């Protein structure tokens, strides 16, 4: 029974954990993210940093993992679909660092994403499961597109 729980929460590889992160973060309009999976995926001591631009200047915010996951509670009026289009993984023993480019859309069939973000995710192997220790995301700056080396817009991986 433990193996299916781990697999649904994140998986036995860093790649599976990151794919689970984006799947669980997404929801249909009138739906909700899979908070149970997100809670199992984030380490209890996880930290999240989020960056975006406001009036052309970078703004950085910090949350504990638990504080960040509060954003995923409740039913969402709009859809929110995360489509990972590029990923690079560096792994050593029970540590992995993942660079991930994600397109976000309210409508998963929209040609153009609502916004694009770059993510740095640090994972730790906790038994058979990979868990998020830290996540840093930064939303694309107007006029400075994020490269998707080898990826294709709208072509989700994982």
- Let me know: does 42 contact 21? Beta carbons within 8 Å: no
pLDDT tens across the length of the chain (158 residues): 333 334 445 678 999 999 999 999 999 999 999 999 999 999 999 999 999 999 989 999 999 999 999 999 999 999 999 999 999 999 999 999 999 999 999 999 999 999 999 999 999 999 999 999 999 999 999 999 999 988 999 999 97
Residue 9 pLDDT: 53
Domain 2-139, CATH class in plain words: alpha beta
Paired tokens of 9: 């929460």
Structure tokens at 87: 């990923």
Q: How far apart are CA 157 and CA 84, in angstroms?
A: 6
Residue 5: the pLDDT is: 39
Q: Is the pTM of this model over 0.85?
A: yes
Q: What is the 3-state secondary structure (H, E, C) of 52-77?
A: EEECCEEEEEEEEHHHHHHHHCCCEC
């Amino acid at each position: 029974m433990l193996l299916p729980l781990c697999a649904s929460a994140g998986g036995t590889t860093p790649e599976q954990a990151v794919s689970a992160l984006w799947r669980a973060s997404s929801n249909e309009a009138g739906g909700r993210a899979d908070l149970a999976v997100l809670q199992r995926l984030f380490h209890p001591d996880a930290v999240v940093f989020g960056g975006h631009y406001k009036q052309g200047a970078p703004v950085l915010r910090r949350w504990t993992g638990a504080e960040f996951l509060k954003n995923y509670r409740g039913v969402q009026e709009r859809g929110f679909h995360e489509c990972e289009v590029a990923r690079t993984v560096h792994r050593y023993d029970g540590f992995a660092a993942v660079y991930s480019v994600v397109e976000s859309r309210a409508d998963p069939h929209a040609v153009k994403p609502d916004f694009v973000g770059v993510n740095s995710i640090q994972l730790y192997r906790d038994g058979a499961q990979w868990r998020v220790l830290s996540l840093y995301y930064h939303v694309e700056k107007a006029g400075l597109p994020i490269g998707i080396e080898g990826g294709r817009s709208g072509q989700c991986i994982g």
